[in-house]
Amino acid sequence: MERPFTFINSAMSADGKISTKERKQVRISGQIDFNRMDQLRAGSDAVMVGIGTVLADDPSLTVKSSELKMERIASGKEENPARIIVDSKARTPIDADIFKKGEGKLIIIVSESAPSDKVALLKEKAIIVVAGKKSVDLKQAMSELKSQGIDRLMIEGGATLNWGMISNGLVDEIYTFVGNLIIGGKTAPTFTDGEGFTEKDIQKLELIDAEKMEEGILLKWKVPANPGQ
Ligand SMILES: NC(=O)c1ccc[n+]([C@@H]2O[C@H](COP(=O)([O-])OP(=O)(O)OC[C@H]3O[C@@H](n4cnc5c(N)ncnc54)[C@H](O)[C@@H]3O)[C@@H](O)[C@H]2O)c1
Ligand SMILES: Nc1nc(=O)c(N)c(NC[C@H](O)[C@H](O)[C@H](O)COP(=O)(O)O)[nH]1
């Protein structure tokens, strides 16, 4: 199946959490890591998050550096990569920042179960891709994104989308900034939530690099095919 080269870039606490037990955003990255994230966005054809992240963080997913935006425009691209939301039931708020901030292509991936009135509203602001019956069929969605010319895809979470993408074998690399803080909380989202693997189909990783960065550490992993999947 043809799909984009896909990497997850995320930040987590030293105890593996990506936000608080109230799902409130925590600033985990330092400025250097935020700048690195900005460069990754600028170098990607698209940036994708799950609806849970949109509802919790209201991200714009835009490139912040004007220099990086100018470089994109000079190379004939739009100033921002395409911004994509995985949103099976079309719950993206009409007044979300992603619609208000920054220029560029917006894609919302819904499932067939999404209410048609909500889809119609979102269709006025974004390209709608339909994939899957109840939740989004991520394999079908990735194939569709590739056919739309998206060759390099950045995933920025959250916890459940990371599970969906990894468990479907759709992720090539993972970059995680591990920050110098403990968030704790049994219900706080981790880097990968969802159903979870059993001992027979655990996803193994290959370490590409480990780099001390400010008060944390940046880990880069290759995600080999999972024979257990
Ligand atoms: N620290 C970080 O780097 C970082 C990055 C992003 C989000 N976050 C945090 O993560 C939390 C959000 O994570 P989350 O798990 O609630 O939501 P999420 O962003 O992972 O979105 C998951 C939702 O996407 C939809 N979806 C549709 N089809 C799917 C499929 N096949 N597989 C998976 N999801 C599918 C479902 O509605 C699902 O609940 C927030 O608290 C946010 O602050 C942290
Ligand atoms: N890399 C990273 N480090 C963090 O410390 C942190 N809290 C996030 N959080 C996930 C998501 O990336 C943010 O919700 C957006 O980065 C919001 O910012 P934008 O408006 O999109 O620029 N991501």
**CA of residue 177 to ligand 1 center, whole Å:** 18
Q: Whose CA is nearest to atom 41 of ligand 1?
A: 23
Average per-residue pLDDT for the chain? 97
d(CA 190, CA 119): 30
Any residues with CB less than 8 A from the CB of 138 and at least 6 apart, and which? 86, 131, 132, 164, 165, 168, 170
Angle between helix 31-42 and 66-74 (nearest 10): 10
pLDDT at 36 over 90: yes
pLDDT at 170 over 90: yes
**Cβ 164 under 6 angstroms from ligand 1:** yes
Tell me, what's the pLDDT at 70?
A: 98
Residue pair 203/196 in contact (Cβ under 8 Å)? The answer is: no
For residue 24, which ligand has an atom nearest its CA?
1
- Average pLDDT estimate for 14-36: 97
Q: Over pLDDT 90: what percentage of the chain? A: 98
Q: Whose CA is nearest to atom 35 of ligand 1?
A: 161
pLDDT at 226 over 90: no
Residue pair 40/152 in contact (Cβ under 8 Å)? The answer is: no
d(CA 215, CA 14): 11
Assign 72 a pLDDT band (cuts: 50, 70, 90): very high
- Average pLDDT estimate for 155-168: 98
Q: Over pLDDT 70: what percentage of the chain? A: 100
Here the tokens at position 35 are 């700048």
For the chain, what are the domain ranges? Answer: 5-222
Tell me, what's the pLDDT at 48?
A: 98
For residue 89, which ligand has an atom nearest its CA?
1
Tell me, what's the pLDDT at 192?
A: 98
Assign 122 a pLDDT band (cuts: 50, 70, 90): very high
Nearest to 46 by CA among 147, 160, 121: 147
5-222 to CATH, choices 3.60.20.10, 3.40.430.10, 3.30.450.40, 3.30.420.40: 3.40.430.10
d(CA 103, CA 162): 26
**Ligand 2: residues within 6 Å at CB?**
10-11, 25-29, 37, 57, 59-62, 156-157
**CA of residue 56 to ligand 1 center, whole Å:** 9
Q: ipTM score here?
A: 0.98
- Backbone φ/ψ region at 22: left (φ over 0), alpha (ψ -120 to 50), beta: alpha
Assign 132 a pLDDT band (cuts: 50, 70, 90): very high
Assign 228 a pLDDT band (cuts: 50, 70, 90): confident
Q: What is the pLDDT of residues 177-225, one digit of tens each?
A: 999 999 999 999 999 999 999 999 999 999 999 999 999 999 999 999 9
